[in-house]
Structure 1
Amino acid sequence: MKKVGYTTGVWDLFHVGHLNLLRRARLECDYLIVGVTTDELSEAGKGRTPIIPFAERLSIIEGLRWVDSVVPQVNYDKWEAWNNFKFNVMFVGDDWRNSARWNGLEAKFQEVGVDIVYLPYTTHTSSSKLRGILDRFEQADGR
């Protein structure tokens, strides 16, 4: 049976941590579907619009050899995503391990045979850190 993987992200300010997660995910499945969070969902969920526009982030992810299919993520409902794509395994950064949200998702997905695999989060590089650097430059520049 073909093992279909699924993961999502904003993928803003794409960096080596993103690359590592996608590369590692693809090693653990036969087909990898990647959701790219829309600008609107990011604004609603994080209170800010990504620096890189949605269409460009989508294009970046589409260009990666480890990614087989790219879809817009228009909401955070992983159960709806499973109903749409019927994946067998979902990949997420290990910074979410043991959170109430993901513990609940693990239990729900276990009922339909979907495994949640936590992949290493890159602590030394993150989009939040990169965004902070950009914000400091803009403040210093008077923007």
Structure 2
Amino acid sequence: MKRVITFGTFDLFHIGHLNILERAKQFGDYLIVGVSTDALNFSKKQKNPIHSQEERTRIINALKVVDEVFYEESLELKGDYIKKYNADVLVMGDDWKDKFDEFKSLCEVIYLERTPSISTTEIIEIIKR
């Protein structure tokens, strides 16, 4: 069984999120998703997500394309998560291109093109207007 791992915040779940998860699953039989914790998001962006980590995890866990979900607590632990979940493939959006090449000794690393013209940040800006 080929195991695929990916990571994300998945706040204000939208079609871009679904697209990358469905495409990630095509690289294996079992899709594992690390949902970043509220604390990790705050440390990266100095703001909390709209939805709590529990709500975001429930949404991801409810998707039939996803087989397993866990909390990503630190960006520095990606290699540990790859090992812990025995991942054969790491899939990330191409906005992270080359940033995770260091893990090529642990698994295959694939960067997928993001869905054009959609992002959580853009959705929040539209709502604010």
1:123, distance to aligned residue in structure 2 (A): 2.7
Task: Name segments (4+ residues, structure 1) moved above 4 Å.
Answer: none
Secondary structure of the residue aligned to 2:6 is strand
What's the counterpart of residue 105 of structure 2?
111
What's the counterpart of residue 15 of structure 1?
14
RMSD: 1.2
Q: Report whether the alignment pairs 1:51 with 2:45.
A: no
Secondary structure of the residue aligned to 1:43 is helix
What's the counterpart of residue 93 of structure 2?
93
What's the counterpart of residue 73 of structure 2?
74
1:111, distance to aligned residue in structure 2 (A): 2.2
Deviations along 1:15-34, whole A, 9 cap, x unmatched? Answer: 00000000011111110000
Q: Distance in 1 between matches of 2:61 and 2:105?
A: 31
**Aligned partner letter, 1:51:** I
Q: Distance in 2 between matches of 1:111 and 1:49?
A: 33
**Aligned partner letter, 1:97:** K
1:91, distance to aligned residue in structure 2 (A): 0.5
- Normalising to structure 1: TM-score of the pair? 0.84
* Rg comparison, structure with higher value: 1
What's the counterpart of residue 140 of structure 1?
none
1:95, distance to aligned residue in structure 2 (A): 1.8
What's the counterpart of residue 128 of structure 1?
121
- Normalising to structure 2: TM-score of the pair? 0.93
Question: Which consecutive unaligned segments of at least 5 residues does structure 2 have?
Answer: none
1:119, distance to aligned residue in structure 2 (A): 1.1
